[in-house]
Amino acid sequence: MNLFANITHVLSSDILARIAVYIDESPEKTEKAVQALVYTVMGGFMRRTTNEIGVNQLFNHIQKGRYDGTLIENLPVVLQDPAQTNTIITQGNNVVSHLLPAMKSSIGSMISIYAGIRNSSAISLLGLITTLVLHILGKQVKDQKLNADALAASLFAERDTLVNEVPEDLMPQLVEKVGLQQIIMGLAAPARRTVVESPGRSTTAAIRPSVTYEPADETDGSNETLTKWGVGALIAVAIGIGGYFLYQNTQKYSSMGDEAKVTTVENDTIQADTVTRSLAVPTEPVVQPKSTSVTAPASTVPAATAASSGNLSQQMAPYVGNAALPKGRVFPLAGITFQPGSLSLTPTSQPVISELVTLLKTYPQLQIQLIGYANDAKGSLTNKSLSFKRVNQIKQQLVNSGINYLRVDAIGRGTGVSRLDTSAAPRPTLSKIDLKVVTK
């Protein structure tokens, strides 16, 4: 049973009902918020363990906070006591402040909007879910005797589950708020700590060169002194000779400089006369190239877009440039394709991505959503995971080209056939990238 399944098992309908009473929200909204927070906290801990400091901090919080799973066993009783419940919430929010710094407010706002609950309720649920997740992780550490590196690896083992189970309407906000772009795309991995396996300080201390305090031989010292005096005398003689020659050369070049000045004046005069004469000579007329665009008709398409001859610009520019047309239109990005079962873009995809960058820069108010479909996943990778990684790879290229990441949402819908669809009607699976205009 994976971590997500363990958390779902703990959060039974009875537990969710008691939580809803405590925060004074409806059971339906509470359940929706709790599920979203489970994904959020787990994703945040994954991101935290991508560096060595985060791995150590998470493990130390579990050890020092005595998160060993005891709360899970007594959770129904604890939730009946408002004072104990408040203590758990406060404890969890303190952990969020340390492990996910500066994220508490943004996460609370995201959950509040997503589930339709008060912001204060979302913050309370964040603290409660964080404490529960830490206890589940702590129980796993205790039962399996995991160290910090093994704990981080177990978190990352849930990456595909995270990608496949997060609701589509939550995923874009979750990725942006918690910073999961690299994790979702499979480009991030848990950091491994640098462990020094030495019992004593002698093996970890820096090796310093030995210092000898034996008295120096006096004979060698006297000879060394004479040698130093001899070298000093030779240097002094060399400096004197060099100074003499320098003085002689200075005098010589000084006299030559006077002659050079006269010659330079004469040459400058001759050159000036030559320039004057050249200006008086009539030159051949310059033939201007004929312009082929003088009579081009006026166009309402911006110059940057008109310069692009791609199909994407021809399709989108008239629509985006016309404020009277409603937003929400979907444009297929047929030119962007991937090698079968992989994240490798085909060579024909780059011009289309460059064209999309130009459009986004031409229309700075334009906001889009990239929607990915895939039906060619291989191995343990699911179609939904593959489709999501592909659209996020395209988004990353747009961001690297100077596009604000807030202007581009990216979601993956797998084959396009919902797993909740129980109808017997045959539906074709999809493999494509679509672009939806959100704001123009």
Q: 336: domain range?
A: 305-439
- The tokens 């589930």 sit on which residue? 115
- What is the rounded average pLDDT of the residues 351-360? 95
Is 285 within the bounds of a domain?
no
Is 428's pLDDT higher than 90?
no
- The tokens 């995270």 sit on which residue? 162
Is 274's pLDDT higher than 80?
no
pLDDT on residue 188:
86
- The tokens 């460059």 sit on which residue? 354
Is 250 within the bounds of a domain?
no
Minimum mean pLDDT range among 3-7, 39-43, 399-403 = 3-7
Is 309's pLDDT higher than 50?
no
Helix (H) or strand (E) holding 435: strand 432-439
Is 296 within the bounds of a domain?
no
Reported as a single tens digit per residue, the pLDDT across 124-152 is 999 999 999 999 999 999 999 999 999 99
With cut-offs at 50, 70 and 90, classify the pLDDT of residue 169: confident
pLDDT on residue 290:
41
Q: For 271-286, what is the HEC assignment?
A: HHHHHHHHHHCCCCCC
Long-range Cβ contacts of 32-36 (<8 Å, 24+ apart): 32/114, 32/115, 32/116, 33/111, 33/114, 33/115, 33/117, 33/121, 33/122, 33/125, 34/125, 34/129, 36/111, 36/114, 36/115, 36/167, 36/170, 36/174
Asked which of 152, 184, 216 is the last residue of a domain, the reply is 184
Is 300's pLDDT higher than 90?
no
Is 292's pLDDT higher than 70?
no
Minimum mean pLDDT range among 130-139, 149-158, 176-185, 192-201 = 192-201
Is 275 within the bounds of a domain?
no
Reported as a single tens digit per residue, the pLDDT across 206-252 is 333 333 333 333 334 444 444 445 555 556 556 666 555 555 554 44
**What is this structure's pTM?**
0.62
**DSSP letter for each residue of 20-84:** HHHHT--HHHHHHHHHHHHHHHHHHHHHHTTSHHHHHHHHHHHHHTT-SSHHHHHHHHHTT-HHH
Reported as a single tens digit per residue, the pLDDT across 320-344 is 999 999 999 999 999 999 999 999 9
Reported as a single tens digit per residue, the pLDDT across 73-129 is 899 999 999 999 999 999 999 999 999 988 999 999 999 999 999 999 999 999 999
Asked which of 153, 184, 215 is the last residue of a domain, the reply is 184
Is 206 within the bounds of a domain?
no
pLDDT on residue 369:
93
pLDDT on residue 58:
95
Nearest to 338 by CA among 330, 329, 347: 347
Stronger pLDDT, 236 or 417, i.e. the higher one: 417
Mean pLDDT of the chain: 79
Say whether both 170 and 317 belong to one domain.
no
Is 298 within the bounds of a domain?
no
Total number of residues shown for the chain = 440
Is 413 within the bounds of a domain?
yes
- The domain total for the chain is 2
| CATH code (residue 414) | 3.30.1330.60
Is 232 within the bounds of a domain?
no
Question: Is there a contact between 361 and 157 (Cβ–Cβ < 8 Å)?
Answer: no
Say whether both 179 and 317 belong to one domain.
no
Question: Is there a contact between 30 and 19 (Cβ–Cβ < 8 Å)?
Answer: yes
pLDDT on residue 237:
55
| Angle value at C-alpha 378, between 374 and 379, nearest 5 degrees | 140
Greatest CA separation for the chain: 107
With cut-offs at 50, 70 and 90, classify the pLDDT of residue 405: confident
Asked which of 184, 215, 239 is the last residue of a domain, the reply is 184
Say whether both 313 and 175 belong to one domain.
no
Distances (CA, A) of 324 to 287, 319, 321: 47, 9, 9
pLDDT on residue 310:
63
With cut-offs at 50, 70 and 90, classify the pLDDT of residue 427: confident
Say whether both 38 and 178 belong to one domain.
yes
